[in-house]
Amino acid sequence: MVRQLVCASLAVPLFAYSTWAQSSMAAAGKAVGLNIGAATNSNQLTGTSTYITNLKAQFNMVVCENEMKFQPTEGSRGKFSYRGGDGVSDFAKANGMAMRGHTFIWHSQSGWAANITGKAEILNVMKTHIDSVGGHFKDKILEWDVLNEITSDAGNGLRGTFWQAALGNDLPDTAFAYAHRVIGEAGHLYYNDYGAEGLNAKSNSIYNLAKRLVEAKAPIDGIGLQCHLSAGLNAKDISSNIKRLGELGLRVSMTEIDIKNGKTADWVNLMNACLENFNCVSFVTWGVDDSRSWIGSNCDCLLYNNNQPKAHIQALIEALGKADPTVTAKRKEFIAKGATRVAHPLQNARRMAAGNLLRNASSMPVFSVSSGAVLNILGRNQTSPALSH
């Protein structure tokens, strides 16, 4: 009798734990306000497959690995194709997943645009592309990579690219302004880069750029840390970098995670660097399965191999379950306020100053080149005909 009572009293907490613990990364992420995503391709999402089962089982966010880049969406000037992005976005909608948009402006995979020179022409190309792709996918995308990899690896300013050659240091201001005209408050606007996850010259340069943009009241909402990493990653520095970006009022998303020869500890350490910070909102792996990784099928860099889940997944679910409730509450509050645009004093100041900014539009390079257009509070052009979408 005594023994039975002891067993019964032990059984209660065990039972309670097993019903409370989440069964997937997506569910555990949702419980702490974190999107858990993966890059995918529309041709992997038709019919039935173990790949699809795995994607649906563990993730609640997707991003096109390639299909929403410049070249795939605008193969020749002014001719747009959205088929790939539509396939992924339909899948996201059908499965209740969020989506990232990757990417408007990048120097790579930009096809014919790389041959365009001159400020007026480049502005025209940039605006048309962002208006069209942004207009088509608006309301389907939670986070947009407006700019990808525009910072030099040495961290001494902007990378030399065809975009930068034409626009100089106005490149980021211009791209964010164009994106904001189309997206308005319907999605969060990001700067995304690699090799700047922790503390180094490149991440300092990106931090300084972000600070300048926030102080100039540019419509930037977040920084994407690509996170193409290797075993032995320095999670402490990554956490410090996320923290300082949070002090600017910016979201951070880990946007393209793969960890070469990653051990479970690397995955958990990276997740914890995110969980420690209220402003870290998305954890996105660059693919689902090693067999299709851009690094090569032997990379041991993702969470599945040949359709088999790795032990990392369960460890990540447990790490998510142990997240500090105080940080989680702060993250949820941060997200609930919509964009960082209204969640931080600096950003509030930006909104309040929007009227002044628009009145002084001629002093802003991006606005002065757009044929004297009048902009409304969302940065939309009031004088031009409807945007081309």
Give me the residues that bind ligand GLA (CB under 6 A), please. Answer: 102, 148, 194, 226, 256, 294
∠ CA 196-198-202, nearest 5°, is 35
Nearest to 110 by CA among 147, 84, 141: 147
- Catalytic residue of the set 65, 149, 197, 276: 149
Contact 270, 239 (CB under 8 A): no
The 10 Å CB-count burial string (b at 16+, else e) for 113-135 is beebeeeeebbebbbbbbbbbbb
Among residues 256, 276, 318, 333, which one is catalytic? 256
226 vs 277, which CB is nearer to ligand GLA?
A: 226
Between 190 and 334, name the residue whose CB sits nearer to ligand GLA: 190
**Would you say 107 or 244 has its CB closer to ligand GLA?**
107
3-class SS of residue 257? strand
What six digits make up the tokens of 189? 């606007």
| Least spacing, CB of residue 150 vs ligand GLA, in Å | 12
Nearer to ligand GLA, 44 or 226 (CB): 226
Please name the residue that has the structure tokens 């563990």. 58
215 catalytic, yes or no?
Answer: no
Strand bridging mode 304-305 / 308-309:
antiparallel
The backbone torsions φ and ψ at residue 384, rounded to the nearest 5 degrees and listed phi first, read -85, 160
Kindly tell me which of 227 and 313 has the beta carbon lying closer to ligand GLA.
Answer: 227
- C-beta of 88: minimal distance to ligand GLA in Å? 14
Pick the closest to residue 281 from 150, 188, 388 (CA basis).
188
CA distances from 364 to 134, 154, 238, 266, 368 (A): 22, 28, 34, 44, 6
User: Whose Cβ is closer to ligand GLA: residue 107's or residue 236's?
Assistant: 107
**Minimal distance in Å, beta carbon 79 to ligand GLA?**
22
Locate tokens 């059908």: which residue? 94
Task: Please report how close the Cβ of residue 233 comes to ligand GLA at its closest, in angstroms.
Answer: 16
Name the minimum Å distance from CB 302 to ligand GLA.
12
H-only helix segments in 184-286: 201-215, 235-247, 264-275
- Sequential DSSP letters for 173-210: HHHHHHHHHHHTTSSEEEEEESS-SSSSHHHHHHHHHH
Rounded to an integer, what distance in angstroms lies between the CA atom of residue 347 and that of residue 342?
6
Which residue number places its CB atom closest to ligand GLA?
294
Annotation marks residue 149 as catalytic: yes
Smallest distance from ligand GLA to CB 194, Å:
5
Residues with catalytic function:
149, 256
